[in-house]
């Protein structure tokens, strides 16, 4: 199995609400999908998919998670890195304005960076972080190499 | 917030076991991390991180998920696309040999592709799929454009 990833799929309770968060709230552009059923966004070389939570659980043959918002943390989190601590705060503010729930305000963290967390309308956690030891490239990709 | 993703973090119960699965089992190369605490893998332009489940829950200020393997589905799944139905079966077999749990054997699915699921040692679900309508590029990236 090659060292790569094709898609992250987020199970959602209300596709219309989830699409409104990512498209109208965050300004993302829909790449494709099936109206009312599934939505795909191109994020660099991978995809983010939004798919009904029940359908996803059934597809994976897993038990449906607790449907109360914020109660469905399964131990996976997404991270979005930015160029400065100020950009962390600005991004968390933007996400909140778009309808996200702030889980943790931006703060200095023990590993030497600065980060906070928000949950999207379905409770999926996004860390927003500034990591001064990694390199964010102009195309949006990240590398573990130290910045020049 | 730009349309991109920096990292997917998987909370793990036993970092040594999780690293053995991805590195020895699947043959992935560690990109960096802190010995015994966190491990990062470069997957194209993003990172996969393995981090202690308790530490991740605390970092995100979320309740710790049910620690019984397979009970921590939170509505997020990863997908790994391959070039043919046969490659789906071969990848599922490889993952099982590496210590994964088969959630669903490879099978034809309603949207016209072929897919199955496995769970990694911490229960994180990976779909292994062949989607004849998407383009897998030689560099491992995916595009929603139809294949030529």
Residue B100 C-beta-side C-alpha neighbours within 13 Å: 27
Task: Provide mean pLDDT across the span B103-119.
Answer: 97
The pLDDT tens digits for A47-58 are: 999 999 999 999
A83 with A56, same domain: the answer is no
pLDDT at B68 over 80: no
Q: How far apart are CA A39 and CA B134, in angstroms?
A: 14
Task: Provide mean pLDDT across the span B14-33.
Answer: 97
The confidence score (pLDDT) of residue B65 equals: 86
A46 with A95, same domain: the answer is no
| CA A140 to chain CA mean position, Å | 14
CB contact under 8 A, A5 and B72: no
Spell out which residues of chain B touch residue A18, defining contact as CB-CB under 8 Å. none
Q: Is residue A68 part of a domain?
A: no
Q: Is residue B67 part of a domain?
A: no
Other Cβ atoms less than 10 A from the Cβ of A135: the count is 14
Element spanning B69, H or E: none
pLDDT at B69 over 70: no
- The residue of chain B with its CA nearest to that of A41 is B3
pLDDT at B123 over 90: yes
Q: What is the CATH number of the domain that holds B20?
A: 3.10.180.10
* Residue A126 and residue A118 in contact, taking contact as beta carbons nearer than 8 Å: yes
Nearest beta carbon to residue B9 from set A29, A79, A122 = A79
- Going by their DSSP bridges, the two strands A46-52 and A7-12 should be labelled as parallel
pLDDT at B10 over 90: yes
B82 with B52, same domain: the answer is no
pLDDT at B45 over 80: yes
Q: In Å, how far is A139's CA from the nearest CA of chain B?
A: 9
Mean pLDDT of chain B: 95
Low-confidence ranges of chain A (pLDDT < 50): none
Q: Is residue A42 part of a domain?
A: yes
Nearest beta carbon to residue B91 from set A1, A32, A46 = A1
Q: How many domains does chain A have?
A: 2
Q: In Å, how far is B5's CA from the nearest CA of chain A?
A: 5
CB contact under 8 A, B1 and A103: no
Q: In Å, how far is A39's CA from the nearest CA of chain B?
A: 11
State which residues form the domain around B45: 1-62
- The residue of chain A with its CA nearest to that of B50 is A76
Q: Is residue B133 part of a domain?
A: yes
Element spanning A85, H or E: helix A85-97
* Residue B76 and residue B9 in contact, taking contact as beta carbons nearer than 8 Å: no
Nearest beta carbon to residue B5 from set A78, A94, A136 = A78
Least confident of A76-80, A132-136, B57-61, B71-75: B71-75
Task: Provide mean pLDDT across the span B92-109.
Answer: 97
B99 with B143, same domain: the answer is yes
The confidence score (pLDDT) of residue B148 equals: 81
Token output for B82: 């391959």
The confidence score (pLDDT) of residue A68 equals: 73
Q: Is residue B69 part of a domain?
A: no
The confidence score (pLDDT) of residue B67 equals: 73
A88 with A54, same domain: the answer is no
What's the pLDDT band for B71 if we cut at 50, 70, 90?
confident
Q: Is residue A31 part of a domain?
A: yes
A52 with A91, same domain: the answer is no
- The residue of chain B with its CA nearest to that of A9 is B77
Q: Is residue B68 part of a domain?
A: no
Compute the C-alpha angle B61/B57/B126, nearest 5°: 135
């Amino acid at each position: 199995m090659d060292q790569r990833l094709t898609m992250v799929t987020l199970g959602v309770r209300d596709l219309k609400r989830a699409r409104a968060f990512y498209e109208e709230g965050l300004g993302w552009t829909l790449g494709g999908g099936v109206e009312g059923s599934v939505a795909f966004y191109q994020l660099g070389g991978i995809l983010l998919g939004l798919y009904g939570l029940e359908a996803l659980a059934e597809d994976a043959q897993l038990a449906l998670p607790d449907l109360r918002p914020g109660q469905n943390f399964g131990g996976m989190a997404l991270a979005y890195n930015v160029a400065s601590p100020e950009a962390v705060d600005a991004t968390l503010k933007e996400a909140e304005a778009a309808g996200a729930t702030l889980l943790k305000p931006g703060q200095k963290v023990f590993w030497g960076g600065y980060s906070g967390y928000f949950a999207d309308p379905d409770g999926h956690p996004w860390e927003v972080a500034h990591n001064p030891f990694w390199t964010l490239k102009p195309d949006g990709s990240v590398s573990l190499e130290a910045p020049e």
